Amino acid sequence: MDMIERLKTFLLLTVLTAFLLFMGNLIGGKTGLTVALFMAGFMNLIAYFFSDKIVLAMYRARELSEQEAPSIHRMVQELSVSAGIPKPKVYVVPSMSPNAFATGRNPSNAVVALTDGIMKILNDSELRGVIAHEIAHIKNRDTLIQVIAATIAGAIMYLADMLKWGLFFFGGRSDDREGHGLGNILGLVAISILAPIAAMIVQFAISRSREFLADETGAKISNDPLALASALKKITGYVERVPMEANPATSHLFIVNPLSGSSILSLFSTHPPVEKRIERLYKMAGLSSY
C-alpha cells in the first residue's frame, strides 16, 4: 500500500503539471506559463517558509513544555527516534474539539500540535498512535508535497483568471462572434471555469493519498495500527458533537477533517473516509474487519 500511495501522489502531480503546461500554452505560450509559474511559485514559497507560524497563530497554539506534559514529550521523543527524524516541538491548541496536526517546512523545523480535547479523550496508546501519524507526515515531507501541489494548482487558477479577463476584454469582438470564432470562445469559457475545479479536485486527491500514507507509516512507526484505528474512530465521533472553529483552507492539516460534520462530496474532501482508513489499519494488523 505504501508504494501505491507514493505512486498515486506522483501520478497526480504529473496530471497537475500536464494541465498547467496545457493552460500556459493555451493562453500565452512559454511566456504566459513562465509568468504564472513565477507568481504562483513566489506566493507558495512565502507560504512554505511562514505557513507554520501563520497556522499556529491562527489557532492560538502555544508551546507545551516538557514539565507540563512529560509523558507526551516521551512519546514524541520515542516515536521520532523510531521514525529517524529530529524530535519536533510540541504545541497545544486551546480547543476541546479533539484533533491534531503537524506543520513545519522540514523535519528539522517541525511541530506536532495537539488540541486540549484530544489529550483529554484519548488513552495513552491512542494518543501515541495519533502522534505517530503526525510524525509520519513530517517524515514523509507532506508539507513540501502539499506546497508543490498548491503551487501548481495556484498557477492553474491564475492562468484561468488570465483567460477569463482576456475573454472579457478581447473575446467579444464582432469578428469573433460568428461561426468558428464563437465556438472557440465558448470552449475557452468552459476551460476557464472547469480548470480551477479540476485542479482543486486533483489537489484534494493528493491530500487524501498522503493521509492514507501517513496512517500506514505512522502505524509502522508505533507498531500498533489498532491504536490509531481506535483513535480515529473516537475522534470522529467527538468532532461531530464538538465542532471546531477551523479555517477550511487549513482543514487538510488535521488528522480528522474538523469540518467532517458538514456534507462534503468525496471528490472535494481533503481526507479519505474514516471507515476506509480504519479498515486499512485493521488489515495491517492482520484482521479482516472491525
Sequence-ordered strand ranges (E) for 94-205 = 100-103, 111-115
SS3 103: strand
Under a CB-based contact definition with an 8 Å cutoff, are residues 93 and 114 in contact?
yes
C-alpha cell at 91: 504545541
Q: How far apart are CA 282 and CA 272, in angstroms?
A: 16
CB atoms within 10 A of CB 76: 24
**Enzyme catalytic residues:** 134
Long-range contacts of 9-13, Cβ-Cβ distance < 8 Å, separation of 24 or more:
9/145, 9/206, 9/209, 9/210, 9/213, 12/149, 12/202, 12/205, 12/206, 12/209, 13/145, 13/148, 13/149, 13/152, 13/206
